[in-house]
Structure 1
Amino acid sequence: MNFHKYYPLDVVNGPGTRVTLFVAGCEHQCRGCYNQSTWDLRSGQVFDKAMADILIKDLNDTRVPRRGLSLSGGDPLHPANLAAVGALLQRVRRECPGKDVWLWTGYVHENLSDAQRAVVELVDVLVDGPFVQELLSPGLPWRGSSNQRVLTLKPNNSRQAGASLL
């Protein structure tokens, strides 16, 4: 898997202070996408064990407590990303207790493949659906167009995931 951006401190992509990773690879290629540079799977930098170690260390840093991990892109649920994203999330669950995981995808929850569902089992909040430029709605929290949904999958882990903001 490749990635484009890594933010060890982020307050934009989900509630609270977070760690955010933007992965490469998206087959949706939505018109009006603000992150077109992430569409190519081969673009960006390789997400290797050293980068995963940095992410885990940052999530556990007590000097600036992070609430959780946000995964966006590109698309973390792109078929080519599933093994790496799944391994990362398993490690986060094992080594970062109490941290929530938010994941943005252009796929719709009800239409996920079995392999995608296996990864989503490790996610607390899923923001699903492709960006639709004609449905752009800048006032919506955590998403860009009104067709996209914020789905709280594990309310106990997500600390209500900002549900009052939705």
Structure 2
Amino acid sequence: MNYDRYYTYDMVNGPGLRVTLFVTGCVHACPGCHNESLWDRKAGKPFTAEVQEELLQACADHDGLSLSGGDPLHPANRDAILALCQAFKARYPEKNIWLWTGYTLREVEQLQNLKYIDTLIDGRYEAANTSRLPWRGSSNQHLISPIQS
């Protein structure tokens, strides 16, 4: 998996003070996407064990971890995201993970990754259906918490 950047003090991508990781790779190619530069899964930098540890350490005094992109559930990202989520929950069981994906819950409900996600924002971005709802770019997207597949 590759990533573009991460923020260690983010108050936009979920509730409270968060660490937010932006991964690369997205198959949806939604017209009007705000992160079109993250579609190529080979863009960015390798997500190494060292980067994961930096992220986890940064979460110590924060409310949770947010995963965005690109798409964290792109097939090339799923294993690394699963490992990151497992490590996060092992270290911080009381904290939450939010994840944004262009897939619908129905399309990914079989993934083991969802066992570790507290809040899922699902669905492709639709520029014609912009939304004022918190944490969603378009009105077709769902904020699902807790996840029940």
Query: Once the two structures are superposed, what CA deviation does each residue of 1:92-151 show, in whole Å capped at 9, x if it has no partner?
Result: 01112311000000000012263xx210111000000000011012x2100100000000
2:104 is matched with which residue?
108
Partner of 1:97: 93
How many pairs were matched up? 148
CA distance in 2: counterparts of 1:136 and 1:121, whole angstroms: 29
User: In the alignment, which residue of structure 2 is the partner of 1:145?
Assistant: 138
Q: What does the per-residue CA deviation read over 1:40-63, in whole Å, with 9 as the maximum and x for residues that have no partner?
A: 000011110110010111111xxx
Q: Percent of counterpart pairs with the same letter?
A: 47
Once the two structures are superposed, the pairs formed by residues 41-120 of structure 1 within 5 Å of their partners are: 41-60=41-60, 65-112=61-108, 114=110, 117-120=111-114
- Structure 1: segments with no counterpart, 5+ residues: 155-166
SS in 1 for 2:21: strand
Structure 2 gap segments, 5+ residues each: none
CA distance in 2, matches of 1:37, 1:30: 12
| TM-score calculated relative to the size of structure 1 | 0.86
Tell me the CA shift for residue 87 of structure 1.
0.4
What is the TM-score with the length of structure 2 in the denominator? Answer: 0.96
Deviation beyond 6 Å, 4+ runs, structure 1: none
